[in-house]
Amino acid sequence: MFFCLPAVARGDGLFAEGGEGFLFSSNTEALFVRYMKDARPLFGRESFYDFSVASWNGPNHDDAVAITRGLRWDWKEKNYFSFEAGGAYLERTTDNLGTRLQFAFRFAFGLKAEEYDISIGYNHFSNGKEIFHWSGPNNGENFLTLQIGLVF
């Protein structure tokens, strides 16, 4: 039910995002391509779906596909804060991520200027080892990113 609510018209978008890793992901660069589709309000807030592909380099390089559901809070006239959570599937396991199935989270502060959307975000991948008692490592992957997109 969480992912199946019909969409409302506000403006879908295509986004490119890149940034640097930190903590266990230091010396890593990540690239994301996202398609965001607006959805009906969730918990009384604007919401959206995010379908993304990601790739990062470094000793724990990997590729991922993710589907998340997000909430957006307007802040001032053109600014917003968003949070999204969902699942991801990795191409391989690494020293930082011991399972292929991951939780994906993103926090962002953004600016909408006509058909453009620019944001600074924090992306995190984790397998929830402590909660679900998975085997293998769970250091997680963490990226600070800059995203630019075209809203249509």
pLDDT one-digit tens code per residue, 11-50: 699 999 999 999 988 889 999 999 999 999 999 999 999 9
| Whether the Cβ atoms of residue 139 and residue 130 lie closer than 8 Å to each other | no
Q: Where are the domains of the chain?
A: 13-151
Low pLDDT (below 50) residues in the chain: 1-9
Q: Specify the pLDDT at position 114.
A: 87
- For residues 90 and 81, give the distance between their C-alpha atoms in angstroms, rounded to a whole number: 27
CATH T-level topology, domain 13-151: Porin (2.40.160)
- For residues 37 and 47, give the distance between their C-alpha atoms in angstroms, rounded to a whole number: 9
Query: pTM score, two decimals?
Result: 0.86
